Amino acid sequence: MKLPAFSAPGRFYRGNLHTHSTLSDGILSPEEVCRRYKAEGYDFIALTDHMIGIYGYPVADTVPFRSDGFTTILGAELHSGAMQNGELWHILAVGLPANFAPANAPGFVPVAGQETGPELARRAVDAGAFVAIAHPQWSGMTLEDARSLTAAHAVEIYNHGCATGCDRADGFQYADLMLSEGRDLTMIATDDAHFSEPDHFGGWVMVKCESLEPWALLNALKAGQFYSSQGPELHNVEITDDKVIVESSAVTAVIVQGHGSAAQAVHGTSMTRTAIPLLRCKQSPWLRVTLIDAAGKRAWTNPVRRN
């Protein structure tokens, strides 16, 4: 069995799904943000400014900044209601319509009568967006909070801005526990770039589809036809009854993870085709793969459910 990212037709496009500009709390204009990502070799970005009252509830119009070989997907970071810790929800929505009705969120503090985070996430999905649980570790989110976002497609498992700004970049524990509960989720790495610190060009998705059209990218994201990376490239991942075969750029470790403590690693030098025996992972209902290169940079597949 091949993972969807490698069995789907087309080619890989590199993109960042979480970015901010001067329309909210970033320090660069939307045009300059797009210019920089294009200059760094990205094929697309989603400019996801905070859709909140103090900024005028923006959905950034990045259509004018599309060009040959570079496109954008409209989106926003949505806010409404309180998590269990009393703080406002942060929900990443990529592929929002420009006329998406904002929540009643005047500022970064919850107010009475707001729709809940789960209600807002459902409304975004119903409007056509790809929705992710944003930076759960940074937010101080509980597992119960994460579970309540039943409409979400994905968990933000690596957030580069949260890594550089507060060393709270991780979302794997939330994703893994929900996978073991039977939830089907994908995993995204992002920048959450504001350009006020070194929070950019550190985590991205590689999306497999047949064209660089926003609708095609969005459909591929929803179908799980992507992997996430800080640098290593994945070329193919295939799962058999007793092993996982990974073809990639040169790496020093390939790790298969599954339910609970199930994990199996192979270590080496400049590995480009690696067979990992399932062993302790063989009975796991789901699997995912992590690659690590000589510089310590990682890449991650989406999880795949086996039964």
Residue in this structure with the two tokens 């091949």, named with its chain if needed: 2
Query: For residue 35, what is the enclosing H or E element?
Result: helix 30-39
Q: Which two tokens stand for residue 93?
A: 């929505």
Instruction: Find out whether 264 and 277 touch, Cβ atoms under 8 Å.
Output: yes
Do 216 and 245 lie in one domain? The reply is no
Supply the CATH number for residue 132's domain.
Answer: 3.20.20.140
Do 194 and 262 lie in one domain? The reply is no
- The one-character DSSP state at 252 is E
Distance CA 52, CA 54 (A): 6
Q: Which of 5, 1, 2, 70 is nearest to 300 (CA)?
A: 5
Query: For residue 235, what is the enclosing H or E element?
Result: strand 234-239
Tens digits of pLDDT across the chain (307 residues): 889 999 999 999 999 999 999 999 999 999 999 999 999 999 999 999 999 999 999 999 999 999 999 999 999 999 999 999 999 999 999 999 999 999 999 999 999 999 999 999 999 999 999 999 999 999 999 999 999 999 999 999 999 999 999 999 999 999 999 999 999 999 999 999 999 999 999 999 999 999 999 999 999 999 999 999 999 999 999 999 999 999 999 999 999 999 999 999 999 999 999 999 999 999 999 999 999 999 999 999 999 998 6
Amino acid 193 reads A
Last-in-domain residue among 226, 242, 259: 226
Q: Which of 65, 75, 63 is nearest to 37 (CA)?
A: 65
The parent domain of residue 264 ranges over 234-305
Question: What is the Cα Rg of the chain in Å?
Answer: 19
Do 33 and 163 lie in one domain? The reply is yes
Residue in this structure with the two tokens 């179908």, named with its chain if needed: 223
Q: Which of 172, 225, 190 is nearest to 17 (CA)?
A: 190
CB burial readout 168-197, b (16+ within 10 A) else e = ebbbbebbbebbeeebebbbbbbbbbbbee
Instruction: Find out whether 49 and 76 touch, Cβ atoms under 8 Å.
Output: yes
Do 28 and 75 lie in one domain? The reply is yes
Last-in-domain residue among 204, 226, 248: 226
Last-in-domain residue among 172, 194, 226: 226
Q: What is the pLDDT, as a whole number, of residue 295?
A: 98
Residue in this structure with the two tokens 């943000």, named with its chain if needed: 33
Do 24 and 159 lie in one domain? The reply is yes
Q: What is the pLDDT, as a whole number, of residue 217?
A: 98
Do 90 and 207 lie in one domain? The reply is yes
Residue in this structure with the two tokens 């960042």, named with its chain if needed: 16
Pairing of strands 71-78, 50-51: parallel
Distance CA 71, CA 44 (A): 5
Do 218 and 255 lie in one domain? The reply is no
Q: 242 Cβ partners below 8 Å, 6+ apart?
A: 277, 278, 282
Do 179 and 279 lie in one domain? The reply is no
Do 170 and 238 lie in one domain? The reply is no
Q: What is the pLDDT, as a whole number, of residue 306?
A: 86
Distance CA 164, CA 2 (A): 34
Please tell me the pTM assigned to this model: 0.97
Q: Which two tokens stand for residue 198?
A: 């070194």
Q: Which two tokens stand for residue 25?
A: 């709390």
